[in-house]
Amino acid sequence: MNNLLATIPGVALLAGALLLLPLVKPTNLLVRRSLIVIVLLLSLRYFWWRITETVPPLSQPADFGFGLLFLILELMLAFSTYVCLVTFWRHRDNTPLAEENERKSHHSTTMPAVDVFIPTYNESWEVLERSILGARALDYPNFTLWVLDDTRRDWLRDKCAALGVRYLRRDSNEGAKAGNMNHALAISKTETNAPFIMVLDADFVPKRKFLRRIVGFFDDPKVALVQTPQFFFNPNMLQHNFMLSESWVDEQRFFFDTLQPAKDAWDVSYCCGTSFVARRAAIEDIGGYPMETITEDILLSFKLIDAGYVTRYLNEKLSNGLAPETIAEYIKQRSRWGIGAIQSLFVKVGPFGRNNLDLMHRFLFLETANYWLSLPTFCLFGLIAPLLYWYGGISILRADAGDYAYHFMPAFFSSTALFVWVSSGRIMPILTDLTEFVCASRVAPSVWTALIFRKAQTFRVTSKGVMTDRVQINWTVMLEAGALFVLTAIAIIAYRTSLVEGRQPDGGDPALYTFWSCWNLLILALVMLLSVERPRQRREERFDLNEPATLLWQGLRQPVRLLDMSVSGARLDLPPALAMQLRDADIIIEIAEIGPVTAQVTSAGSGLVHLRFGAGSPREAIITKLYTGNYESVAQRADIGTAFTGVFKRAFGWQ
């Protein structure tokens, strides 16, 4: 088949999707379900062709073996995609109920008690301070804040006493985070016995209205847990290293903003370890927080469901936390998640256990483990497969480029268009792929080892608050990607200069493997670029405020605009003439919810003034305002064009 003509169906489908889908809201269930059916049909068409016509023959054992392995990985990914598509069939928005909960809470004379747990393991005071202050500022009349210290630090005990919050420690670290919370569950039962437990990771800060919007969900006695999404006030490694913090969202937005509301409609929203509230009686009913795996959160969800309870999801930004700042910490976190998902397969309440989970619950549970097994491995295999062809004469696909494009492109483009549309652009080829490729070589061995050997794994906490004053290179990622890049580039050059003539197997189309190799070169180049980690010199996040303030200086009282602010300083917009007079001046700035703050002008010009707050500034009030208010420090919506432009500029050293 002519290669160019073969692309017409796929390109036409993509063009139609790009033109029509922006006109329809992703919550339109009729359109959503119609697209799901189309994607399923096109995918089945592709896989029928793929299974019946492209598998190498048994007479070529190496080709057949590698080809079958790659097909199995594709089918595993297809399983996750199909479960995801079925999940998208439904959608639930719980915001109206949250609005009603908050309204009722302000008219109620009594509100149920809540114990707020902040489990901590070795986090610095800079990280813990804002979490504790933010939780202490919750706008709720009846809660007790507990700091659960699993590293037994006397200085933290003293800090908690000074802030008037409860402090707990235990003699051992048995059960890691889950064990820590179970210890607190038992102690708090004897002292407060609050009917609800709110859990915050040590680096997460709640919004003030968190509990008022959540507690009302528990009026339904079947509801055992309400989860909220994770947002982050610092750029992750992709946003930071590619300078995309103002144009691209973090990689978890698809899960939290798109997938979780769909899971909720199936009564199986996942607990995600932080920023949730649970019913104490339900937790006690299942024997406490699960300790069978190194990730207690998803297992907690299914144990509650198995016990006859319902988990709910409120898709609102009610907390902010710290994303992993380095590639090493990102890989550590993803490996832990993957291992925990695999361990969950072997527990009694797992998808294969004799329990009360229904078929959809089992599919969703199994899909989570399947995702971690298949995607990292598929990414690795996809990088290596063309090299098997160029250097070993092994063709894992017995098809020419035209046939492959004719069958693959409609399935791929329709699926991509659906996922991009239903997520409102929160998932995107290349940008989304990078985060998978960068950790594939570490995550894949970890999860397969957990599956095959089922060895006990140590809970490894992700370090947060990492600051560096120089460029750092993750040499493991750089060298792995670099070696694959060089081998792929040499193979293409050799082919183009006819240096590998006679090594092309029957049924292997060089055009197909050339395109595949070029795509790999793009991905590998970006992975290498990503492994060069830019400095993180700013110790504090700077939030966009754009609100009025008042400047006091030498008897002058001047209204100004507070553009942005961190814990240690701010930036003002004011008349240019006045800005020039304020160079190196000591001033006072009155800020809403904080009051007067002494500051020194560090630079001034063109109507902009930069301030450094004085030593006596009300630090606690500043932290509370910034981290519990509705302010942003990284992008919350994707600007795809700007994001790709940023990646292009970074690749060519223009920024």
Q: Over the stretch 311-320, which tens digit does the pLDDT of each residue have?
A: 999 999 999 9
Q: Over the stretch 381-421, which tens digit does the pLDDT of each residue have?
A: 999 999 999 998 899 988 888 889 889 989 998 898 899 89
Rounded Cα distance between 322 and 338, Å, is: 20
Give residue 507's pLDDT band: very low, low, confident or very high (50, 70, 90). low
Yes or no: say if 483 and 527 are a contact pair by the CB < 8 Å rule.
Answer: no
Structure tokens at 594: 């904080």
Q: Please tell me the predicted confidence (pLDDT) of residue 99.
A: 97
Q: Please tell me the predicted confidence (pLDDT) of residue 596.
A: 94
Q: Please tell me the predicted confidence (pLDDT) of residue 1.
A: 55
Mean pLDDT computed over 16-44: 87
| Three-point CA angle 34, 39, 44, nearest 5° | 130
Q: Looking at the predicted structure, is the pLDDT value of residue 651 above 80?
A: no
- Which residues pair with residue 556 across a beta bridge? 553
SS3 assignment for 143-181: EEEEEEECCCCHHHHHHHHHHCCEEEECCCCCCHHHHHH
Structure tokens at 348: 């009694």
Q: Please tell me the predicted confidence (pLDDT) of residue 246.
A: 76
Structure tokens at 187: 């102690």
Closest by Cα among 357, 323, 19 to 201: 323
Could you tell me how far CA 447 lies from the centroid of its own chain? 19
Q: Looking at the predicted structure, is the pLDDT value of residue 374 above 90?
A: yes
Among 306-310, 414-418, 466-470, which is the least confidently predicted range?
A: 466-470
| Pairing of β 166-169 and β 143-149 | parallel
Q: Looking at the predicted structure, is the pLDDT value of residue 252 above 80?
A: yes
Q: Looking at the predicted structure, is the pLDDT value of residue 613 above 90?
A: yes
Closest by Cα among 295, 337, 280 to 177: 295
Return all residues near 320 (Cβ < 8 A) that are at least 6 apart: 204, 205, 207, 231, 232, 233, 627
| Three-point CA angle 309, 314, 319, nearest 5° | 120
- Please state the pTM of the whole predicted model: 0.91
Mean pLDDT computed over 134-157: 96
CA dihedral of 251, 257, 259, 263, whole degrees rounded to 10: 140
Q: Please tell me the predicted confidence (pLDDT) of residue 159.
A: 96
Yes or no: say if 628 and 207 are a contact pair by the CB < 8 Å rule.
Answer: yes
Structure tokens at 532: 């060069």
Q: Please tell me the predicted confidence (pLDDT) of residue 537.
A: 63
Q: Looking at the predicted structure, is the pLDDT value of residue 480 above 90?
A: yes
Mean pLDDT computed over 32-56: 94
Specify the DSSP class assigned to residue 1.
-
| Helix residue ranges, H only, 547-601 | 576-581
Closest by Cα among 311, 256, 302 to 279: 311
Rounded Cα distance between 568 and 477, Å, is: 35
The Cβ of residue 172 has, within 10 Å, a number of other Cβ atoms equal to 9
**DSSP states of 470-529:** S-EE-HHHHHHHHHHHHHHHHHHHHHHTTTTTT-PPTTB-HHHHHHHHHHHHHHHHHHHH
Average pLDDT, the chain: 89
Yes or no: say if 289 and 225 are a contact pair by the CB < 8 Å rule.
Answer: no
| Three-point CA angle 194, 195, 196, nearest 5° | 90
The Cβ of residue 120 has, within 10 Å, a number of other Cβ atoms equal to 24
CA atoms within 13 A on the CB side of 403: 12
| Three-point CA angle 79, 81, 85, nearest 5° | 115
Q: Over the stretch 508-522, which tens digit does the pLDDT of each residue have?
A: 788 899 999 999 999
Give residue 621's pLDDT band: very low, low, confident or very high (50, 70, 90). very high
Among 38-42, 75-79, 282-286, 639-643, which is the least confidently predicted range?
A: 639-643
Q: Please tell me the predicted confidence (pLDDT) of residue 592.
A: 93
